[in-house]
Structure 1
Amino acid sequence: MKFYRLFLLLSVIISCVSVKGQTGAIPTKQMDVKMPQLSKNDTIRVAATNDNGEMIAWIPLREVAIYGIRIFKTQADRVAFDRLRYNVLKVMPYALFAKRRYEQLERDLAQTTVKKEQKKLVKQCDKEIKDMFNREIKELTITQGQILTKLIDREVGRTTYDIIKETKGGITAFVYQSVARVVGHNLKSTYNPQEDRDIESIIVSSGYYQ
């Protein structure tokens, strides 16, 4: 008797599912897809999109930046812009190096929770940055140093002061900032594409991101 009731219950469930499947199903109409006519020279594979039954081939194109010729009001303005361009291109590689190195540091720190190992990674990164400063950047002019601090904020998303504070602590950052202010630098300098539009135009047209 129990087996009979179980069999009856299963029959009812299967019947309901079958009826629901029949009534709930929406018949679909097979759409004929029109493929493009190919010639013997059409040998390059490209992507295609089905647009109401017609396959339309397409090729993604790289963004093309178009720049106008800048006209200066005076010769002095031209000389000033050329000097700015020279300084920006001089320090841009250092900003990009800092960006890549600190991105690598963040990836390395995320892979370990051991404080001793994290301190070792920070110390190694700090040494590499210092070696670069002692080898090349120490010869920069005050103007070039000011531009560099702005570009580091542009590339890393944090000021030089914030980076030092996060990696070496607030006291060290304060000391570094005090020394920098003596020689005309400000480690808290931020980058604003609107205010620094000349620098931005130089970077965009420089080819670093192509």
Structure 2
Amino acid sequence: MKFFNCIFLLIVMISPFSLFGQSDKQSVIFPKLSSNDTIRVAGYVDDGMMIPYIGIPQVTYIGVRKWNSDAERVAFNRLKYNVLKVMPYALYAKRRYAQLEYELASISSNKERRQLVKQCDKEIKDLFNREIKDLSITQGKILTKLIDREVGKSTYQIVRETRGGVSAFVYQSIARVVGHNLKASYNAQEERDIESILLNSPYYTNGVQNY
């Protein structure tokens, strides 16, 4: 008896889906096929009509830039070189600052927080002594803008939050002497050349940033 009850229940459960599938299939109008229609393609239903379609890979079209002069072309290529040279440092700042924020959020001890900030500061100073100090003034200016682009905060804001207002003021004063501005922000509309260089660089694929 239990066996027949199970069979009956199974039939009751399956029947609505079977009926729905049959009625749905009958309500769809399929295109008429000819003898040459031998390739299976995907399809979708649009207002009761089965529409065949073939998916194609995304194609990125990049226009060829026309230069008004050789000097303009040389200036752009120089900008491209500088941007690609300092971008790794901006990405490093982004990752390191995110790591610092994450670690500080999980620690309540002021002493431990100061140790973390000190350790982060030491890593950045070591990087500066090894590589960043050799950047040109132009590359340094681009770097401060890219840090704002990647982190969402200017270099001045980062120093002020981690080291305090006095340190931020001192660093800004020193930076201004050598032609830098730690408060420099990034505007994608104003920096269209830099934005174009980045989006077409190895750091991005189809507009998505690679790390």
Place the TM-score, normalised by the shorter chain, in its bin: 0.7 to 0.9
Instruction: Determine if the alignment matches structure 1 residue 126 to structure 2 residue 115.
Output: no
Q: Counterparts of 1:53-202 in structure 2 under 5 Å?
A: 64-202=59-197
Shift of 1:125: 1.1
8 A Cα contact 1:31 1:53, kept in partner:
no
3-state secondary structure, aligned to 2:204: coil
* CA distance, structure 1, for counterparts of residue 103 and residue 58 of structure 2: 33
How many aligned residue pairs are there?
A: 175
2:20 is paired with a residue whose SS is coil
**Structure 1: how far apart are the matches of 2:67 and 2:131?**
33
CA distance in 2, matches of 1:130, 1:206: 28
Deviation per residue, 1:119-155 (Å, 9 max, x gap):
1111111111111111100000000000000000000
* TM-score (normalised: structure 1): 0.72
* Counterpart amino acid of residue 146 in structure 2: L
Question: Matches of 1:123 and 1:99 in 2, distance apart?
Answer: 17
Q: Which moved more, 1:114-123 or 1:170-179?
A: 114-123
TM norm structure 2 = 0.72
Deviation of the 1:209 alpha carbon:
2.2
Aligned equivalent of 2:31: none
CA positional deviation for 1:66: 2.5
Shift of the 63–186 alpha-carbon distance from structure 1 to 2, 3 Å rule, reads farther
What residue in structure 2 maps to residue 37 of structure 1?
A: none
Rg larger for: 1
Which amino acid in structure 1 is aligned with residue 75 of structure 2?
A: A
Q: Percent identity?
A: 62
From the superposition, tell whether residues 81 and 138 of structure 1 become closer, same or farther in structure 2 (CA, over 3 Å): same
Unaligned stretches of 5+ residues in structure 1 = 1-27, 35-41, 43-47
The more displaced of 103-112 and 68-77 is 103-112
Deviation of the 1:31 alpha carbon:
2.2
**3-state SS of 2:68 partner:** coil
Question: CA 1:65–1:134 in structure 2 vs 1: closer, same or farther (change >3 Å)?
Answer: farther
Q: Which runs of 5+ in 2 are unaligned?
A: 1-15, 26-39, 206-211
- How far apart are the structure 2 equivalents of 1:97 and 1:49? 46
Query: Aligned Cα RMSD in Å?
Result: 3.3
Match of 1:31 in 2: 20
**CA, structure 1 residues 62+90, in 2 after alignment: closer, same or farther (shift >3 Å)?**
farther
**Distance verdict in 2 for CA 1:65–1:153, change over 3 Å:** farther
